[in-house]
Chains A and B, each alone.
Chain A
Amino acid sequence: MAQDWKSFEPLLIPDIPNLERIDVYEENGGYDALKKILKDQDKWSRKSVVEEVKQANIRGRGGAGFNAGLKWSFMPDPDGGPRYLACNGDESEPGTFKDRKIFEFNPHLFIEGALIASYAMTVDTIYVYIRGEYISWVDMFQKAVDDAYEKGYLGENILGTDISIDLEITYGAGAYICGEETAMLESLEGKRGYPRTKPPFPAQNGLWGRPTTINNIETLANVPLVINNGADWYGDIGSEEHPGPVLYGISGHVNKPGVYEYPTGVPVLDLINDVAGGIRGGKDLKAIIPGGSSTPPLRADQLDGVTMNSDSLKDVGSMMGTAGMVVMDEDTDMVDVLWRIAHFYHHESCGQCTPCREGTGWLEKVLKKIKDGEGEMKDLDLLLDVGNQMEGRTICALADAAVWPVRHTINRFRDEFEARCKKSVHAIA
């Protein structure tokens, strides 16, 4: 499986200079997928586009890994009122820095994917929500959108058809929670990013109460590949159960950190040693966080034969998440790392649900106590107990995302936490 990753040629961000320019994109087959569909709408009916994408099994690249085509199929039949596609470019999960590459290096692939999605779901307005800190990329992406309007790919009567689709870019102002899909809808409506209870699901009741689908930027960038080459071709890339190209963000203690494009299913150790140049300073690997801060960490001794696909990672007790892998060397202090993750979730809790608002605070506080050498052994059980009382008891998954790293870091590095507690300033021996 994906052992041939070394010969893989990038598809999402191929090796073509100035591909962010619309003329270069067009010269290289850009917007062909959209043209193919719009020119032959009998063959490419809206339903058959949904079906093709569903069959390709593009699993959402924002973290949840849900089949994108299946998500599209949840949209109700059109009733003549507005329908929305909300594109999630809020990427804020620590360890994740991939969507900005699409805005910078291949924005039209994403625009084309969003247009095909909008055609398939009879959407008339696309909102692209980008995190406020990414203002440099907002400006770059705006240029691409302006060019697409000018060339007639966006706006009224696209390519001479009776289809009209608008795309509006907007941006946040600093709040991790707005990457949660319903919080993003609230933020798009100009409010605080408070996640909504589900049901009703966004497909029924999304932006301004209208049918809305939310997709990640990278997910949509995969769509033209499927239309151009077919679901079967796509399914043959990478892991069978989680196919396609992926933008792997690799950071932490490696020699060559950065974003790399490879198929799903690359062995974790190959990504670290061959792709990212191994551990800095010739040190040994201690642990990884495979796909953003909420995915449980894995010890080096758990990684033999593990590949970057959701099933393989699930087998060893973690998740694929956003494929933003954080690598830690032998000298890493796991107590410090976990405290910093807990601090992040406490800071980013929106405060709506009590178990999360209070619980994330207690997780941070107790971890700070342990980190400062004032911890006691019973604090470890207290942390696990607080976590158990948070998980599954809140509107959105932020509380769960805060609990998983705490639970699994303590369980997988228990000796380190115990040693720190035993060295407590209160100990006399």
Chain B
Amino acid sequence: MADLSFTQEELDEIERLKDKFPTAKAATLRVLWLAQNKYGHVKEEIQSLVAEALDVPKSHVHGVARFYTQYYKEEKGKFVLDVCTCLSCQLCGGYDILDHLEEELGIEAGETTEDGMFTIQEVECLGACGYAPMLQVTNGVYVNNLTKEKVDTLLENLKNGNMPEFESMAMPELEKRNQAASK
């Protein structure tokens, strides 16, 4: 394991995060995010690093990291595909999308492809119910209104290193009126 440490720039950012709150402990979630964005996970050695930077017990950081699902307690693929299968997504074919991804990538939900490119996870409601089925790429951008074809295109783009762009989902009626106005 390479030497684990935060750079001076990161330590400055941690100070800034601590300043948002009356206690250093309150910055735990934010510093775990910072660490995960740097290392790609927050395994135990990273949790220790966070605890040290905040001067809080490691047990506290461990408890927090374990509690929240978006923190990766193990290494994941380069792209983590979080497929929502909850309620509205279930109704609109979320499981079909999950099955299709599993078939295309030859892995089950919770697993990572051998080349380390993709991890598939089945997740709970992501708050995009009107644009179901959908998935989120590595805690980042939402990909909405999925079809099998859209999933295939997404995989192809990700393999080429192209992240999908943020898709603004307008309020349908305002969109309709704006279109009428522009005619």
Residue positions of A touching B, CB distance < 8 A:
10, 13, 15, 17, 82, 91-97, 100-101, 104-105, 131-136, 168, 170-176, 187-193, 208, 249-253, 256-261, 275, 289, 293, 324, 326, 328, 332, 336-337, 340-341, 344, 347-348, 350
Contacts and interface: CB of A to CB of B under 8 A. Distances in A.
Given A82-B22, A170-B30, A260 B171 contact: yes
A190 B21 contact: yes
B87 A340 contact: yes
Contacts of A94: 86-88, 124-125, 129
A174 B68 contact: yes
Interface in B66-115: 67-71, 85-88, 90-92
A257 B64 CA distance: 36
Which of B60, B67, B87, B142 has most A Cβ within 10 Å?
B87
Contacts of A172: 29, 68, 70
Given A15-B177, A175-B67, A328-B91, A136 B166 contact: yes
A348 B23 CA distance: 27
23 contacts: A91-B127, A92-B124, A94-B125, A133-B126, A136-B142, A136-B166, A170-B29, A172-B68, A172-B70, A174-B70, A189-B25, A190-B26, A192-B63, A192-B67, A208-B23, A251-B91, A251-B129, A259-B130, A260-B173, A293-B125, A337-B90, A340-B87, A344-B125
Given A168-B20, A173-B70, A251-B129, A133 B171 contact: no
Contacts of B85: 340
A138 to B, nearest CB: 11
A189 B27 CA distance: 8
A344 B89 CA distance: 13
A122 B136 CA distance: 39
Interface string B115-134: 00000000011111111100
Given A136-B141, A175-B69, A190-B28, A104 B22 contact: no
Interface residues of B, number: 50
Interface of B: 20-23, 25-30, 32-33, 60, 63-64, 67-71, 85-88, 90-92, 124-132, 136, 139-142, 166, 168-169, 171-174, 177-178
Given A250-B130, A258-B130, A332-B91, A10 B174 contact: yes
Nearest to B90: A340
